[in-house]
Amino acid sequence: MKKRFIGLLSLLVAPILVASLASCGNSKIKIGVCQLVTHPALDAATQGFCDAVKEGLGEDKVDIDIQNAAGDSATCTTITNAFVAKKKALIMANATPALQAAAASTTSIPILGTSITDYASALSLDNFNGVVGGNISGTSDLAPLQEQVDMLEEVFPNATKVGLLYCSSEANSLYQVNIVKAALEEDGLTTMNLSFSDSNDISAVLNSAVGRIDVLYIPTDNTAASNAEIIDSICRQNQLPVVAGEENLCKNCGVVTLSIDYYAIGKKTGEMAVSILKDGADISKLAIEYDGSPVKKFNASLCAELGITVPSSYAAIE
């Protein structure tokens, strides 16, 4: 009697298991994207990520949930916590506050960062050797900072005072500024730190430096990029040239930049996601990847307006 019961139970359960497995097979891989704020560089990185994931996993096999925090770190936390609650297969964190929020939300779901300048600063890592470990890896938007300094000195050989504009709440911005500051001062130039806490402070901080600096340097700073119109208005009116840490910032308020390709690093991040989700790559062993081909570019119209001539090797921003 017991054997007959077990046999009958098996016949009843088997169709349910088959249906369940079929359902799992048809379900999409769910990925969450937390982007700090809307601006062209981060938008390009997210687009590159999505394109690579859809290409590698199949557009009909993946569900990408893109959430924008509108520049608010607390909202990043809300977004990443929701991703964890929804049991996303992977989280892509676009910009440092998004990565920090994701890292605090989960230690088990794979997290890939992009548009992160320095992972050691962002995650308070000691003895960082290029591999974060645990459930985190990704790509960096760091352009060679010494080469940015060389570019500034090449285009503005007579400059003696350089302002360094950055958001004090962005750890990666301070990291860049500290390196650029040291390199400039080693070459005999004077620097002025112009830090602001949020977008409301930019005008006052920048206006306080007008007439006291020859050139303004802005690193890859998300808050600055989101307020490029304000920066451009003040600098253009006062004939103050801006050396920008990335292309889209330069396009909106700068004259020259040594910039990486944000779409390319986003795509590389997407390829890393495919290797994890499809090929079973161990994220704890994946090294942070970089764009190895930064390009010197210039804002042709603004250079012409300010009477600035750049070397012929620079490419015009389209």
pTM over 0.75: yes
What domains appear along the chain, each with residue ranges and CATH number?
9-142+262-287 (3.40.50.2300), 145-259+295-316 (3.40.50.2300)
Q: What is the mean pLDDT of each run of 10 residues along the chain (318 residues)?
A: 40 37 63 95 96 97 97 96 98 97 98 95 93 97 93 97 95 93 98 94 96 96 92 97 95 94 96 98 97 92 96 94
Other Cβ atoms less than 10 A from the Cβ of 261: the count is 20
What's residue 3's pLDDT? 41
CA 212 to each of CA 160, 177, 184: distance values in angstroms, whole numbers, following the listed order: 10, 18, 16
- Residue 115, classed as helix, strand or coil, is strand
Buried b (16+ CB within 10 A) or exposed e, 216-253: bbbbbbbbbbbbbeebbebbeeeebbbbbbbbbbbbbb
Contact 252, 224 (CB under 8 A): no
What's residue 26's pLDDT? 57
What's residue 310's pLDDT? 96
- Residue 23, classed as helix, strand or coil, is helix
What's residue 318's pLDDT? 86
